Structure 1
C-alpha cells in the first residue's frame, strides 16, 4: 500500500459524507442535464439553493471545472452563514467535505487538509463516530435531496436518508417534503413496494402542508395523488390554489400541466408548459410533458378518417403534430441518454406511427445496451422492442429473445406480466404450427420455471433438447432445475 501524502489524504477523504462519496458518479448521471437543472434552481432562487450550489460544485468538478466548483462552494457557504446562523456548523459539513475533495482534485493538498481540520473540529462534539464527519439529520437530509435529484435507481436510498433525518427531527418541513416526494415517485414505479401501497405519499404531503401551508409544490403533488384516488373536487382546488400562490415555479407549472392533461384539458396543459419552458428553457422534463400533450392530440386525430387525406387540413395538422412530438421527445433525452428512457421509448413509438421504423430500431438497439438501470426500465425497453420485432419486423425469434430477457429481470411489475403473456402466446403459436419447435419448447420451459412449476419446466427443456441437442441454455436450465429438486428432496 502506498503511503504518499496524496494517498494518505485520500484515505481520509474517503471517510467523508459529501457528494464525492455518495453513489451517483460520472458514469451514472447525465452531467449536462444535471447542470442545467441545478443552474435553474439557483437562478430562480428556489428553496434549498445552498444544496443546489453544493451539488453543482460536484458536477463542475467531475467535468474538470475546478474554479467554478470552488465558486459554487463559496456561494453555498455564504448562504449557509446567512440563513442558518444558529445551525451553521451542522449545516456546513457537506460543503466543507466538498471543498476538501475539490482542492484534492486540484492538487492543493494543504488546502484539502485544512478543510479536514475544520471538519474534525466541527464533528467532534456532534458525533463519537467517524473523525471527519457526523451522521446527523442535516447530512442525511442533504444526501437524500442529492440522490433524489439524480436518477430513479437511487430513490430507495434517498428514502432511507430522509427516514434517518426524520428520526431525530420529525417536524423539519424540508425532510418531510423530501420523504413525501420520494414516496410519490416510488409509488409511480411498477414493481416497487411503494407502488403497491399507493396512499403513503398522501399522508406525508398533507403533513408538509400542515407544517407549511404555502408549499405550492406539495399542493400539486397531492392533487395528482387525489386525482388518482378520484377525489377530484379537492384535487382541482389544490391545483388552482398552487397556481395562485406560485405562478412562475416551473415544477409547479409542470405538475399542474400533468394534472390538466390527465383531466383531458390538453390545451391548458400546453399553455402552462410553454410558460414553464420560457422560465427554464433547457428542462428535459418540460419537453417530455409537452411531447405527451402533443401525442394526446395526435392519437385523437389519427382516428379521424380525414387525417389520411393529403388534401385535408387534418392531414397537415397530423404532420405538424408528428413533428411536435418528435421535437419535444427528442429534446427530452438530448442531454439525458442514460436516464430519459421513457422519452426515448415515446420517441420510438412516434417514429413507428410515422413509418420511420429504422429510426425506432436504432433507438431500441441503443437502449438495450444500457447497463445499471432500474429493472422495470429494462423490462419496458424489452417489451416495446419485442413488440416492434414481432409486428414491424415480423421476427418471432427476436421477439421471443427480448421477452425472455425481460422475464429474467427479477421485478414483479405490470410490464413483467405483459412480457409473460406475450411470450406465452408466441410459444403457443409456434408450437401449434410445429410441435417440435425447440425455441418454443424452451420458452415454455422458462415460463414454467418462472412460476415454479419445476416438473413441467424440466419436461419442456428435455423435449427442447431432443430437437436441439447440446443447446447450452436448455442444458443449464435443466441442470439448475434438477439440482433445486434434489436440494428440496434432501431437506
Structure 2
C-alpha cells in the first residue's frame, strides 16, 4: 500500500492542475475568491468549467473539505464535457488531474489512479502543438486562474496566455485573457510605447469577442487614461448598443442589485448620449469654421 501511495504521489506531483500550480493559500484572499466565484456562478460565466475547477481548489483549502471540493470539480467536469464534441477532449486535462488529487486526499486510491490514467490518455490523444510544452487549453486555464490572484501570479498569467496563443493564434478566449492580464500588470507601470501595445491587444480582443462588455469598457478606459481622443465611426453608437445589452442583462438579476446597477447604467446611457451630441456639434462647428476660413482665403475676382 505504501509503495502504491508513493507512486501515485509522484504522478500527482507531475500533472498540471490547481493543486500543483503553487497558488496563494492566504485565507483572506481565498475567501474573497470564493465570494467572487460563487457570485459569478449565479449570474453566468463563459468560463464556467474553469470557474468550478478553481472553486473546488478554493473550497478545499478554506473548508479543508475534499468532499465539498469534489462537488464543484464534478460540476466542472459536466460543463467541460458538454463543451467537447465527443464528451472528452483537452479541456478536461486540468479537471481530471484535479479530481485525481482530491480522490487521493479522500483515500480513494483506485479512483485517483483512474483519473491519472485518463489524464495520460488525453495527453496522448491531444498532444501539445510544436513549440509548446503543454496543450493550449492547459496554458489558457492556468492563465485564467493566475490572473485572479496577486500581482506576481498575474505576471505569470501573461506568459501562459502568450503560450496559449502560440498554440492557437486565433482563439478569442486567449486574446481576451492576455489583454486582461497585461492591463492589470503593466498598464499603470508602463511607458507610452508599452501602453500603446496593451491598448492594441485590448482592441484585438474586443474585435474577436464583440459581445464582451468588459473588453469594450477596458478599451475606453485605457484610451482615456492615456489622453487619447478617438472619433472612430460609430463608436458612440457601439457604446449605446453595448449599454443597452448591459441593461437587459441587469434586469434579469435580483431586485436589490438590479436597482443599483440600472441606476449606474442609466447614468452611462445619458453620458454617452451627451458625448455623441457634443461630438456632432463639434463636427458641425469645425465644418463651419473651415468653410468660413476658406471663404476668407478665396481669391478676389
Which TM bucket (shorter chain)?
0.7 to 0.9
Q: List runs of 5+ in structure 1 lacking aligned partners.
A: 251-270, 279-491
Across the aligned residues of Structure 1 and Structure 2, the Cα RMSD in angstroms comes to 3.0
* Pairwise CA distance, 1:65: 2.4
Who is 2:45 aligned against?
Answer: 46
- Residue in 2 aligned with 1:120? 120
Distance 2:22 2:249 in 1: 29
* Residue of structure 2 equivalent to 1:82: 82
1:360-371 correspondence to structure 2 within 5 Å? none
The 5-angstrom pairing of residues 117-266 of structure 1 reads: 117-127=117-127, 135-190=134-189, 197-232=194-229, 237=236, 239-247=239-247
Contact 1:147 1:154 in 2 (8 A): yes
Listed as ranges, the gaps of 5+ residues in structure 2 are 251-256, 265-301
2:12, 2:100 within 8 Å by CA — same for their partners in 1?
A: yes
1:15 aligns with 2:14: yes
For the structure 1 residues 188 and 274, does the alpha-carbon distance in structure 2 shift closer, same or farther, using more than 3 Å as the test? farther
1:248–1:276 contact (8 Å) kept in structure 2: no
Distance 2:224 2:175 in 1: 22
Looking at structure 2, the residues matched to 217 and 163 of structure 1 have their Cα atoms a distance apart, in angstroms, of: 20
Q: Counterpart of 1:31?
A: 30
Q: Is 1:106 paired with 2:110?
A: no
From the superposition, tell whether residues 187 and 93 of structure 1 become closer, same or farther in structure 2 (CA, over 3 Å).
same
Question: Match of 1:439?
Answer: none
Contact 1:61 1:69 in 2 (8 A): yes
Secondary structure of the residue aligned to 1:214 is: coil
5 Å-filtered alignment, 1:341-420, equals: none
- For the structure 1 residues 86 and 169, does the alpha-carbon distance in structure 2 shift closer, same or farther, using more than 3 Å as the test? farther
Question: What is the TM-score normalised by the length of structure 1?
Answer: 0.47
Distance 1:248 1:157, change over 3 A: farther
Whether contact under 8 Å (1:189, 1:195) holds in the other structure is no
- Mark the CA change 1:249 to 1:58 in structure 2 (over 3 Å): closer, same or farther: farther
Preserved CA contact (<8 Å) 2:187 2:198: no
Alignment partners' CA distance in 2, 1:225 and 1:143: 25
The alpha-carbon deviation at position 102 of structure 1 amounts to: 0.8
Q: Deviations over 1:431-476 (max 9, x none)?
A: xxxxxxxxxxxxxxxxxxxxxxxxxxxxxxxxxxxxxxxxxxxxxx
Q: How many angstroms apart in 1 are the aligned matches of 2:201 and 2:226?
A: 16
Quick one: structure 1 residues 109 and 189, their matched pair in 2 at CA, closer, same or farther if it must change by over 3 Å?
A: farther
Q: Is the contact between residue 187 and residue 195 of structure 1 (CA under 8 Å) also seen in structure 2?
A: no
**Deviation at residue 277 of structure 1 after TM alignment:** 11
Q: What's the secondary structure of 1:52's corresponding residue?
A: helix
Residue 275 in 1 paired to residue 275 in 2? no
Q: 1 CA distance for matches of 2:16 and 2:259?
A: 37
C-alpha distance in 1, partners of 2:144/2:51? 9
**TM-score normalised to structure 2 length:** 0.74
Q: How many residues end up aligned between the 2 structures?
A: 251
8 Å CA contact 1:13–1:101 kept in 2: the answer is: yes
Deviations 1:310-351 (A, max 9, x none): xxxxxxxxxxxxxxxxxxxxxxxxxxxxxxxxxxxxxxxxxx
Structure 1 residue 273, shift from structure 2 partner: 10
**Residues 93-150 of structure 1: per-residue CA shift (max 9 Å, x gap):** 0000100111112121221111001111111233389xxxx71100000000000111
CA deviations 1:238-258 (Å, max 9, x no partner) are 5544322223779xxxxxxxx
